[in-house]
Amino acid sequence: MGCLFCLENKFMKNKILVTGGAGYIGTHTCIALHEAGYDMVVYDNLSNSSREAINRVSTLIGQPIEFIEGDIRDAESLRQVFSSHHFFGVIHFAGLKAVGESVAKPLLYYNNNVSGTITLLEVMVEYDVKNLVFSSSATVYGDPETLPIDEASPRSCTNPYGQSKLTVEHILADLAVSDDSWNLIPLRYFNPVGAHPSGQIGEDPNDIPNNLMPYISQVAVGKLEKLSIFGNDYPTVDGTGVRDFIHVTDLAQGHVAALNYLQQHASSKSASDTTGSVGFLPINLGTGKGTSVLDLVAAFTKVSKQPIPYQFAARRAGDIASCYASADNAKELLGWEAKLSITEMCQDTWRWQSKNPNGYLLQS
The confidence band for 276, taking pLDDT boundaries of 50, 70 and 90, is low
Phi then psi dihedrals of residue 329, to 5 deg: -65, -40
pLDDT of 132-174, one tens digit each?
A: 999 999 999 998 989 999 999 999 998 899 999 999 999 999 9
CB atoms within 10 A of CB 339: 11
pLDDT at 12 over 80: no
Question: Residue 185 forms beta bridges with which residues?
Answer: 133
Selected catalytic residue, list 161, 189, 215, 324: 161
Q: What is the pLDDT of residues 172-201, one digit of tens each?
A: 999 999 999 999 999 999 999 999 999 999
How much is the pLDDT for 209?
87
Residue 205, CA distances (Å) to 47, 97, 282, 335, 359 in order: 11, 11, 27, 31, 8
Within 8 A by CB and 6+ apart from 272, the residues are none
Q: Is the pLDDT of residue 271 over 70?
A: no
Query: What's the CA gap between 140 and 188, in Å, rounded?
Result: 8
Range 255-269 average pLDDT: 84
Distance CA 33, CA 335 (A): 16
| β 283-285/183-189 pair status | parallel
Residue 161 is among the residues annotated as catalytic for this protein: yes
In words, the CATH class of domain 4-355 is alpha beta
Sequence spans of domains, the chain: 4-355
Give the bridge partners for 184, in sequence order: 132, 280
pLDDT higher than threshold 80 for residue 327: yes
**SS3 readout for 183-239:** EEEEEEECEEECCCCCCCCCCCCCCCCCCHHHHHHHHHCCCCCCEEEECCCCCCCCC
When pLDDT is cut at 50, 70 and 90, the band that residue 318 belongs to is confident
